[in-house]
Amino acid sequence: MKIFVTGGCGFIGSNFIHYVLKNYPDYSVINVDELTYAGNLKNLSGVSQSPRYSFLKGDIADSVLMEGVIRQEIDAIVNFAAESHVDRSIEDPSRFMKTNVFGTFVLLEAIRKTSSSRSIRFLHVSTDEVYGSLGAAGAFTEETPMAPNSPYSASKASSDLMVRAYHHTFGLATLITRCSNNYGPYQFPEKLIPLMISNAVEGRELPVYGDGLQVRDWIHVEDHCRALDVVLHQGRAGEVYNIGGQSERTNLSVVRTILDHLDKPHSLIRFVKDRPGHDRRYAIDFSKIEKTLGWKPLILFEEGIRQTIVWYQAHPEWWMEIKTGAYLDYYERMYGNR
């Protein structure tokens, strides 16, 4: 099988490429990534010389490039390419509209125009944030109405609807997954867990939004890759599959867990002004994928967070280069020079 991965130099995309090449010795991967601030070729240095892996620098909104790649007898597309940080979407929504909405449209159009004689499976990787915010109880199901509360989640909801429309209108073999919060190796250090780990290692203050009691369901990226694998191969075209980690935690408890693992004082926590429209709670009901495809998360949060902390401790050169580069200005603007 030849898989076209978009956004494969990002966090989840790079982990998925590692997963595929490790578990499917007869598969090949073409990775297209624009290498914006969160795309990092070093995430894939371990496979860059493999004859089963190739990389093209490019934008998924480039219709000529996308059609050219898809004509290379592609069997499946896994679309990770997305602007994904909520704070950045509040500062500048325009890039989110371009990549997340228009870019997805370009991909779908390229499939429609070039694959009349064969069926390409298109797996669109989305987020639980399209559902909005939950109260104290309950969980999102695939039937939960979408109610996005940020420009980021609105752009992802829009792209989900476009994917759905191209299945129902043009018969494309599309699939959508909506996952809870990921963590693990190669996650860009503006996200909660790598930011807290790297700051704690450096002895810097740990900025926590509001009261820190926002609840998220956490899943290790390896479990997510396993889920994407089973959906890509066995999922029913036109369906949506929720993916969850069965591990709800408040942001504050996650931060305290990290500090405890690193033997750092809780006094490093600094509460900062909450961001606008901050969703209070997410929780995923993944019973559909469990019952129909036999998937469930295997990595408990306690073990997964330990592994993740060890990885970031072992790879300071990876995240230090990022945090002392262009990202630094953004960090200081968001959290202050402390």
Report strand pairing: 215-220 vs 248-250.
antiparallel
Contact 174, 104 (CB under 8 A): no
Rg of the chain over all Cα atoms, to the nearest angstrom: 19
Catalytic residue from among 59, 128, 217, 229 = 128
Beta carbons within 8 Å of 322's beta carbon, 6+ residues apart: 40, 188, 189
Rounded Cα distance, 94 and 114, in Å: 29
Is 129 an active-site residue?
yes
Exactly one of 129, 190, 239, 285 is catalytic; which is it?
129
Residues 6+ apart with CB under 8 A from 189: 195, 198, 319, 322, 323, 327
- Strands 53-57 and 28-33 come out as parallel
Nearest to 189 by CA among 328, 79, 299: 328
- Give 3-state DSSP helix, strand, coil % of the chain, rounded to 5: 45, 20, 35
State the number of CA atoms in the 13 A half-sphere of 223 facing the CB: 28
Active-site annotation, residues: 128-129, 152
